[in-house]
Structure 1
Amino acid sequence: MNFKNQSTITKIVAIGIGAAVFFILGRFLSIPVGIPNTSLETTYPFLALMSVIFGPVVGGLIGLIGHGIKDLLTYGLWISWVISSGITGVGYGLVGKSLNVAKGIFTKSDIIKFNIGQLITNLIAWALVAPTLDILIYQEPANKVFLQGIVAALMNSLAVAILGTILIIAFTKTQTPDNSLQRD
């Protein structure tokens, strides 16, 4: 098997496992925040890690599939938020492309860059796209869905800033930096 096929297989496996873990975290480790259908999610720190490691396409598919499965097996498919989870995975992956975590590098400036990028991603996906699609697809009241979207964006950003950063730091520490071996 050549490297290109191995890479594709690795990404397909990452999508499958990532979507399953996303579902499990979303189903069993979500904390309601008092706004209807809005929770503090542990899924998005995990999605951030997977997106940074495997890139925007894998991150987007994990978000879409994982959120879709969660919705289908709980209360029904809410496509606007499923799409927003996909956008979130893509956004995290795009931010991750500018990082070198696979080489064992995640500096303080990288942490700041990552967190600014994930904040922007969450604001676009949850405070803009999700409510707009809720209005267009489901004719939901604007004040309700924008409140939900803003709270979701802030909660996801907070969760990713804390847990996502910790997960990425931990992953980075498992990687060997280039030129780390020295000849005695």
Structure 2
Amino acid sequence: MEKKFGIKEVVAMGIGTALFVVLTNVQIPLVIAPNTYLQPRMAIMAFFAAVFGPVVGGVIGLFGHALGDAIFYGSVWWSWVFPEAVVGIVIGLFAKKFAVKEGGFNTTANIISFNVIQVVSNAVAWIVVAPVLDILVYSEPANKVFAQGAFAFLGNVVIIGVLGTILLSVYSGISGKSSDLKMED
């Protein structure tokens, strides 16, 4: 299996990271858990990961979150940066299966597959990785961070499930049609 990584992927990382950072302040608070929000930036990262693969998804999650924290909050909360990268990497590992670029995403099987994978990746990232890192790195109380992680998981699943699926569906429909173009004689 040949893996291609070129200028398109580098540009995707730049654009995706920039969008992720810009969307850092677009958030709907989940009042039940402190410092936990619905954030559309997760759908952007999932979109780029599903189209361009795990390196692009991981870089956008890692650098997008770190830069967003640094710019808007003045410091980086690393225990939540790494889980973003985990989600991007895991979704990206299945990019070929989703067939977004080829115009094949809009099948029930691919949409379900994408959403199962994003749910599992978010569960690992937010129910396991983020709380454990919060406890180990920042000595945060377990009950607080596991509650935050659970709500971050639910919020991300909803945002990616709705907005991410819509973005991928529209892009796949357009991408599939443009690949049908043939040069005239």
Same fold (TM over 0.5): yes
TM-score (ref. length: structure 1)? 0.90
Structure 2: runs of 5+ lacking an equivalent: none
Once the two structures are TM-superposed, the CA of residue 54 in structure 1 deviates from its matched residue by 0.7
Structure 1 vs Structure 2 CA RMSD:
1.8
Q: Partners of 1:109 and 1:18 in 2: how far apart?
A: 26
Contact 2:36 2:148 in 1 (8 A): yes
The match for 2:153 is 153
- More deviation in 9-18 or 109-118? 9-18
Query: What's the TM-score, normalizing by structure 2?
Result: 0.90
Distance of 2:60 and 2:110 partners within structure 1: 23
Cα displacement (A) at 1:179: 9.0
Letter matched to residue 33 of structure 1: L
Structure 1, unaligned runs of 5 or more? none
Q: CA deviation at 1:178?
A: 10
Contact between 1:40 and 1:155, CA under 8 Å: does it hold in 2? yes
Distance 1:113 1:73, change over 3 A: same
Report how many aligned residue pairs link the two structures: 176
Establish whether residue 22 from structure 1 lines up as the match of residue 23 from structure 2: no
The percentage of aligned residue pairs carrying the same residue is 44
Would the alpha carbon gap of residues 179 and 132 (structure 1) be closer, same or farther in structure 2, given more than 3 Å must change? Answer: closer
Measured against aligned partners, the alpha-carbon deviations of 1:116-173 in whole angstroms (never above 9, x if no partner) come to 1100000000111000000000000000000000100011001111110000000001
Moved over 3 A (4+): 177-182
Distance 1:101 1:53 in 2: 6
Displacement of 1:97: 2.9
8 Å Cα contact 1:59-1:90 kept in structure 2? yes
2:127 and 2:153 in contact (8 A); partners too: yes
